[in-house]
């Protein structure tokens, strides 16, 4: 009985390894020949079953003991069966139409701080380093814009933060479908809450869970905002800063931020929520907040709105949104350009039609000349 079991195991092992070749099958048959007749008959029966199983597995018996050499393949067939995979470039550099074109966004207001629209190209003059330039591009259309919101949630914003949230939401509601937004929240350190998206609802949801606390790293937050603005997909870019203006925990200095603002093509709009001048609760940082925010806005061509009553915040935010969509865009090629990398001052002068009251012009104050 033991001999029969061992034989059965040998036969099953050969069947299992049939895909490797049947070189051991003749050995099994040779062993069976030396056995008694009953055992031989049993081998014959199992051998037939084994061959049947091999046929089912698709291995013809004629190819079991002999290995055939593969037929030579035509070179044309090899070429046809070859697969070529090409990788598309990951980064495609943007096309620069004219690197010498300087573009200036201009806002015009009346004595009541109302937006003035409808002016023609002839009403504007542009001076670059005190030399008048020829305006070669003029536009007033409401083009898509990339806006970054820098939101202060430090401890000094305690009783102002809910109205600040309302202001941000009001700003989003007056946007256009083609606009895109990103959100940075900061207290002791800035944090990118949401990258650029056209679905401002996502930013609204993120703002609802923001709570005040900690120190204020305003300058670090603005620096992060300017860096993230480079990822905006539109030609027009603006940064909206809602803060009380007090910085007491930044690594970057005011000089660093001013330099970064000058180097960017981003307009900065600031909403400063300040305590009344007579209040004694103002810290030295908060006391210097208005001048800092005003200077950053002026250099970039934006504006600073000072608010003492937080209830005014939603109306201010809506006003900024409307202003961004009613700007004049002037373009010129400097006739006196020197590629020395130095700061070049710009002045936009307005010659309005007769009969209009004195108007105020807001535009960036300069740019850095290219070096090559």
Q: Map out the domains of the chain as residue ranges.
A: 2-62, 102-368
Q: Where on the phi/psi map is residue 339: left (φ > 0), alpha (ψ -120 to 50), or beta?
A: beta
pLDDT in tens, 330-353: 999 999 999 999 999 999 999 999
In angstroms, rounded to a whole number, what is the distance separating the alpha carbons of residues 147 and 143? 13
In angstroms, rounded to a whole number, what is the distance separating the alpha carbons of residues 358 and 352? 9
Q: What is the pTM of this model?
A: 0.71
CB 302 within 8 A of CB 238: yes
In angstroms, rounded to a whole number, what is the distance separating the alpha carbons of residues 264 and 260? 6
Confidence of residue 82 (pLDDT cuts 50, 70, 90): very low
In angstroms, rounded to a whole number, what is the distance separating the alpha carbons of residues 167 and 285? 23
Confidence of residue 308 (pLDDT cuts 50, 70, 90): confident
pLDDT, average across residues 160-180: 91
DSSP 30: H
CATH of domain 102-368: 3.40.50.410
Query: Residue 234 has what pLDDT?
Result: 94
- Torsion sign (Cα): 295, 299, 300, 302: positive
Out of 89-93, 220-224, 353-357, give the one with best mean pLDDT. 220-224
DSSP 251: S
Cα–Cα nearest to 249, from 295, 299, 186, 329 = 186
């Amino acid at each position: 009985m033991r001999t029969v079991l061992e034989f059965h195991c040998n036969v099953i092992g050969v069947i299992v390894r049939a895909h490797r070749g049947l070189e051991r099958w003749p050995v099994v048959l040779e062993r069976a020949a030396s056995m008694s007749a009953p055992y031989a008959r049993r081998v014959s029966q199992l051998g037939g079953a084994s061959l049947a199983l091999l046929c089912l597995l698709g291995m013809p018996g004629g190819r079991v003991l002999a290995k055939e050499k593969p037929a030579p393949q035509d070179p044309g067939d090899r070429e046809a069966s070859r697969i070529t995979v090409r990788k598309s470039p990951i980064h495609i550099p943007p096309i620069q139409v004219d690197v010498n074109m300087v573009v200036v966004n201009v806002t015009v207001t009346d004595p009541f701080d109302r937006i003035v629209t409808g002016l023609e190209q002839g009403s504007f003059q542009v001076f670059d380093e005190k030399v008048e330039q020829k305006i070669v591009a003029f536009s007033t259309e409401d083009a898509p814009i990339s806006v970054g919101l820098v939101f202060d949630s430090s401890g000094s914003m305690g009783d102002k933060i809910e109205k600040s949230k309302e202001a941000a939401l009001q700003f989003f509601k007056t946007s256009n479908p083609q606009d895109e937004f990103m959100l940075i929240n900061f207290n002791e350190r800035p944090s990118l809450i949401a990258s650029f998206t056209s679905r401002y609802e996502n930013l609204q949801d993120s703002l609802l869970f923001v709570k005040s606390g900690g120190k204020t790293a305003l300058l670090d937050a603005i620096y992060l905002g300017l860096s993230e603005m480079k990822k905006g997909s539109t030609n027009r870019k603006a940064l909206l800063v809602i803060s009380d203006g007090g910085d007491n925990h930044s690594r970057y200095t005011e000089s660093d931020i001013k330099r970064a603002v000058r180097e960017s093509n981003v307009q900065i709009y600031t909403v400063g929520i300040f305590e009344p001048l007579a209040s004694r609760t103002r810290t030295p940082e908060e006391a210097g907040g208005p001048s800092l925010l005003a200077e950053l806005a002026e250099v970039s061509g934006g504006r600073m709105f000072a608010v003492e009553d937080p209830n005014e915040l939603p109306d201010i935010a809506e006003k900024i949104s409307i202003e961004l969509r009613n700007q004049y865009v002037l373009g010129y090629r400097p006739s006196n350009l020197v590629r020395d990398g130095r700061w070049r001052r710009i002045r936009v002068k307005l010659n309005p039609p007769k009969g209009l009251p004195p108007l105020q012009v807001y535009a960036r104050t300069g740019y850095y000349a290219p070096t090559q």
